[in-house]
Structure 1
Amino acid sequence: MLGQFRKLQHQVQGLNRVWNTSIRFLVAAISYSKAYKDSYYYVDVLQLCKNTAGVKNVHAQIIIGGHEQNQFLATKLIGKYAELGSSSNLESARKVFDKLSERDVFCWNVVIKSYANVGPFVEALNVYDEMRSHGITPNRYTYPIVLKACGAEEAYKKGQVIHGHVVKSGLDFDLYVGNALVTFYAKCKDVKISRRIFDGIPERCIVSWNSLISGYATNGYMDEAIKIFYALLRSDVTGAPDNTTFVTVLPAFAQAADIQAGFWIHSYIVKSGMKLDAALSSGLISLYSNCGYINIARAIFDRISDPERNIFVWNAIIRCYGMHGFAHEALSMFRQLVEAGIRPDGVIFLSLLSACSHAGMLAEGWDLFQTMEAYGVQKNEAHYACAVDLLGRAGYLDNAVELINSMPIQPDKNVYGALLGACRIHKNIELAEFAAEKLFVLDPNNAGRYVILAQMYEDAGRWKEASRLRTLIREKEIRKPIGHSSIELESGYEKFGVNDETHPFTSEIFGTLMSLDRVMAPVSIY
């Protein structure tokens, strides 16, 4: 009887253990399920937040609910704070990050991205270093965002170090990382390395091509940008060219004043159904403007709806009128811009001042110059140079000198260059000597400055001074930039100058020309 009782007791204890284990498992499952549901509940609520107050409210609920150490929620919260911008929101995001006891690579990436997008950019690099010091291995998403921060900061040496980390991690042939490296080196003005990395990417996408085109264009290598664009058209890249391609290459075609390319791009945009947004429109306006097609430029401007007419579009059309001598039309567009509630920037005032200067509209130009601060625009060296040119062309040389002396910033070569140009127009040698003396220090290798003063001496019959200047030019080996021409070939544009022997087939070309010269030589009939 006692044995049966003990046996029954053991069975009950066993059942209790099973029951207790089941209860604990059920409680844990319910807690996990609740936490899981809570996480997605808070994420959904965060997505609905449109301002800082709303995010802070959700943040408070997360803390009260005991989910402060939830990595998934914390990462979403950091991203939302950063999305709203401002330094205070970024500080809140950083506090969330710093309080986490465990942080995975995704969480680190979100913080780095926040600083890379909003700034300070150097903090993105600091967080990257901290991440590596904690033993977290960066992945293919880390490197593009930290390289973006390096490019924004122009931290060339740091970027090279990170490039070394990329190679060690075996991600140097990754498409996204490769694209980021192309962009980084281009932003740091090292287009040779940028091109080398581009050539090493196994399978390039449209972003790869756009990054290189942009790199060449922004660094002033317009011919190379155009060549890469034509190479892109011959490639088999899917979805090429796209909106970004045209936005990046249009400034190059505008500088080349290539109207045929402008017509082709414009037609492609229309036929492909691509939206003619503000960026594309301002690029086309500038291209047509440089080619002298003012009416087409204006037609494009008129087709843009009022909400999409940003400052860049207005600047493009104002510059178009100004550069072709239509100063009154440029001023009319400026008044329309102000009436539309858009605040003008320094670039627009530069275009207007230049237009007024060349049109001889002294009163209008001076009034614009005086009212810049009223629009919240700070005057820089270029604005002062335009104002000096405005006064100088009108013959107010003393006022121009007075303006230079009253400048709150140090006058640069463009300011004294404008003064020298005005002195030449009005044959004021004494003031020209003063301006030239400044320029020989500020811009010593510009042959044009020496030549202007030398010509003024020659016009005044002061041959010794003119000879001294021309001798100085030869002794210093100062040379004017060589003029060049270009020709369009199937491979793109080829540039050449007088007696240019840089072409790889120079000998064959000159040999053929000599043969043609002999064949075409006139035959004497006597």
Structure 2
Amino acid sequence: MFPLPMTQMNGLARQAELLVSRTECFNLWTFFIRGRRTYTKPHYRNSYDYTDLLQHCRNTKSIKKLHAQIIIGGLHQNPYVASKLVGKYVECGDSSMGDARKVFDELTERDVFVWNMVIQGYANVGPFAEALKMCNRMRLSGLSPNRYTYPFVLKACGAMRDGKQGQVVHGQIVKSGLDLQLFVGNALVALYSKCEEVEVSRRVFDELPLKDLVSWNSMISGYATNGYPNEAVEIFRAMIQGPTTCLPDHATLVCVLPACIEASAIEVGFWIHSYIVKASIKVDSALGSALISMYANCGRVRVSRVIFDRVSDKNVVLWSAMMRCYGMHGHTDEVLQMFLQFEESGLYPDAVVVLCLLSTCSHAGMVSKGLEIFEKMEDYGVEKNEKHYACIVDLLGRAGLIDRAVKFIESMPIQPGKDVYGALLGACRIHNNIELAEETAEKLFVLDPGNAGRYILLASMYEDAGRWEDAARVRRLIREKNIKKPTGRSSIEVDCIYHTFGADDESHPYTDQIFDTLERMDRIMEEAIVMV
């Protein structure tokens, strides 16, 4: 005897037919009828069986077959089975998100877990705004989001770079008393970092009563990706040396190594490499490329090559880092030889690899080779962008082929921008072509009006030619337009604290003592010179 009326069972059959073919549905239905004699409480007897089978589904097709069995078995309204089914559809990505939503919409009763599964799916694959809408619907249904809901919603806000909406969610979190919960706090740190509000991110981080590895990684990544390398290194030091020491993992090291390079904190980079060796951390392409870049900046090309050779799973990023290392130190032959090996390995260059090759050829004066690589970009499947065109202008300009560079710009299929004209102005400076420099500078004053370097370069050319009035006119433009030239800055680390100084900078709290010390050192040096 069936527990469901035949009309309802026919409805289930029609739902199942939407997922699988009529023949497959008939086979499933026959198996179900023959295999079971009583159906008093199938929800409790079969739900664990179905969820266990769902774990073994590897693609959408197998999930839909099992979904059809769940419908025929009458378990499609079971919250436990439905949430697992939604989760499996979510795992399949964007293409199956619609199926997950259908399962959810057909549920008559929804618990927090199934709401979280759908919100997580939208936060992972989009549309991200839908995750926020679902969270609001959940609250209106009478259910309160929990410590697992809010991280998904905050992730969606971060993906949209929507800081204002993130602040609204943050307010809801504070009202619910979950703002100091670890999972939620970590998500808030990541959100504000993605929205370029690093100061707010740091405040949230400092207020967390407990911090785990994710907390530290999120804060380090936030500083590193938003242009605060010194702060990234500082927070890394606090992580490994503070009272609650937390050992870094692979993700930590990949984040902090670029910051070490930018902050010139090479000793920290050396410590990281030693830690990698001692902790037997596998150096993959991501970690290897970061180490190569660090040693390249130190001029240790051989060490970079040793690291490169030891990485087994070499990808385009790793090859690019090694070629860039050779290129920045003038090893042109090694760059081209590596590129041949790169092609022989079966990989295809991307835009970054081609840019590295063109830059190397430009600085080495290899015009023919650079043009050959540029022409092959379509064969490689790499789309030419302005930086590639600018490299060719620089290549021709450095070689003294300025007229050819101008004709190349005129034949470009895209509108030349500031990078292209900047390369041409640099070539004019090298070969003292003032007339063309004037024309090029006028274009740059429109395309890149806030760049003081363009004005200063033209003024310097006028001064070299003895055209003092023209030089004064250009420098007057800088003052009238209130264009600020970025000042050079130096930094020194004392007791793990970075002190930064600019020209004529008196902002440091110990300015008087610093200048007094410098004056004493000057006197000592003068006395030493007199004695000699």
What TM-score do you get using the length of structure 1 for normalisation? 0.88
Take 2:271 and 2:527, find their aligned partners in 1: how far apart are those partners? Answer: 43
| Gap change, CA 1:469 and 1:331, over 3 Å in 2 | same
Structure 2 unaligned residues grouped into runs of 5+: 1-35
Deviates more, 1:253-262 or 1:202-211: 253-262
Q: 2:46 aligned with 1:38, yes or no?
A: yes
1:108 aligns with 2:115: yes
Counterparts of 1:482 and 1:164 in 2: how far apart (Å)?
A: 40
Q: Does 1:369 align with 2:374?
A: yes
State the distance in 2 between where 1:471 and 1:323 align: 36
Residue equivalent to 2:64? 56
Q: Distance in 1 between matches of 2:138 and 2:370?
A: 55
1:300 is matched with 307
Query: CA 1:341 to 1:401, structure 2 compared with 1: closer, same or farther past 3 Å?
Result: same
Distance 1:331 1:146, change over 3 A: farther
What is the CA-CA distance between 1:469 and the residue it aligns to? 1.0
The Cα of 1:371 is off from its aligned counterpart by 2.3
Pair 1:76 & 2:81 matched: no
Aligned partner of 1:3 in structure 2 is none
Structure 1 partner of 2:386: 381
List aligned pairs for 1:55-454, cutoff 5 A. Answer: 55-85=63-93, 87-305=94-312, 308-454=313-459
Paired residue for 2:21? Answer: none
Counterpart CA distance in 1 for 2:521 and 2:470 is 46
Counterpart of 1:14 in structure 2 is none
1:103/1:375 Cα in 2 relative to 1: closer, same or farther (>3 Å)?
farther
Aligned residue type for 2:292 = I
Relative to structure 1, the CA distance from residue 389 to residue 129 in structure 2 (aligned partners, 3 Å threshold; closer, same or farther) is farther
Question: Deviations along 1:256-303, whole A, 9 cap, x unmatched?
Answer: 344322221111111122222222211111101111111111111110
Instruction: For 1:472, give the aligned amino acid.
Output: L
**Equivalence for 2:10:** none
Q: How far has the Cα of 1:215 moved from its partner?
A: 0.5
Q: Which deviates more, 36-45 or 163-172?
A: 36-45
Any gaps of 5 or more consecutive residues in structure 1? Answer: 1-26
Q: Conserved in 1, the CA contact under 8 Å of 2:240 and 2:246?
A: no
Measured against aligned partners, the alpha-carbon deviations of 1:312-335 in whole angstroms (never above 9, x if no partner) come to 222211221222222332233233
User: Given the superposition, is the C-alpha separation of residues 141 and 325 from structure 1 closer, same or farther in structure 2, using an over 3 Å criterion?
Assistant: same
| Max Rg structure | 1
Relative distance call for 1:392 and 1:166 in structure 2 (3 A) is same
Distance 1:347 1:125, change over 3 A: farther
**SS of structure 2 residue aligned to 1:117:** helix
Task: Kindly provide the amino acid, as one letter, of the partner of residue 425 in structure 1.
Answer: I
1:513 deviates by: 4.1
Distance 1:114 1:399, change over 3 A: farther
1:466 to 463, 466, 471: 471
1:262 match: secondary structure? helix
Relative to 1, partners in 2 of residues 1:98 and 1:341: Cα closer, same or farther, differing over 3 Å? farther
Task: Pick closer, same or farther for the CA change 1:105–1:436 going to 2, 3 Å.
Answer: same
Matched residue SS, 2:131: helix
Whether the 8 Å CA contact 2:387–2:419 is kept in 1: the answer is yes
| Aligned residue runs from structure 1 range 10-49, under 5 A | 31-32=40-41, 34-49=42-57
Tell me which residue corresponds to 1:21: none
Partners of 2:348 and 2:131 lie apart in 1 by 32
**1:79/1:403 CA distance change after superposition, 3 Å:** farther
Q: CA deviation at 1:517?
A: 5.6
CA gap of 1:99–1:396, structure 2 versus 1, over 3 A, is farther
What SS does the corresponding residue of 1:411 show, helix, strand or coil?
coil
Deviations 1:13-32 (A, max 9, x none): xxxxxxxxxxxxxx9x9743
- The answer to whether structure 1 residue 501 and structure 2 residue 506 are counterparts is yes
C-alpha contact (below 8 Å) 2:358/2:374 kept by paired residues: yes
Q: Secondary structure at the match of 1:220?
A: coil
% same residue: 60
Counterpart residue identity of residue 184, structure 2: V
Distance 1:84 1:404 in 2: 47
* Aligned residue identity for 2:100: A
**Farther-moved stretch of structure 1 (215-224 vs 120-129):** 120-129
Distance 1:123 1:339, change over 3 A: farther
* Structure 1 residues 119 and 361: CA distance shift in structure 2, 3 A: farther
Which SS does the other structure have where 1:478 is aligned? coil
Contact 2:87 2:100 survives alignment (8 Å): yes
**Distance in 1 (alpha carbons) for counterparts of 2:366 and 2:65:** 58
Residue 406 of structure 1 deviates from its aligned partner by: 4.1
Contact 2:239 2:245 in 1 (8 A): no
Q: In the alignment, is the contact (CA less than 8 A) between 1:214 and 1:225 conserved in 2?
A: yes
**CA separation of 1:520/1:390 partners in 2, compared to 1, >3 Å: closer, same or farther?**
closer
Query: Which shifted more, 466-475 or 159-168?
Result: 466-475
8 Å CA contact retained: 1:205, 1:237? no
Distance 1:343 1:147 in 2: 37
The number of aligned residues is 495
User: Is the 1:485–1:496 contact (alpha carbons within 8 Å) kept by the matching residues of 2?
Assistant: yes
Question: Quick check: 217-226 or 111-120, which moved more?
Answer: 111-120
Structure 2 distance, partners of 1:118, 1:472, is 50
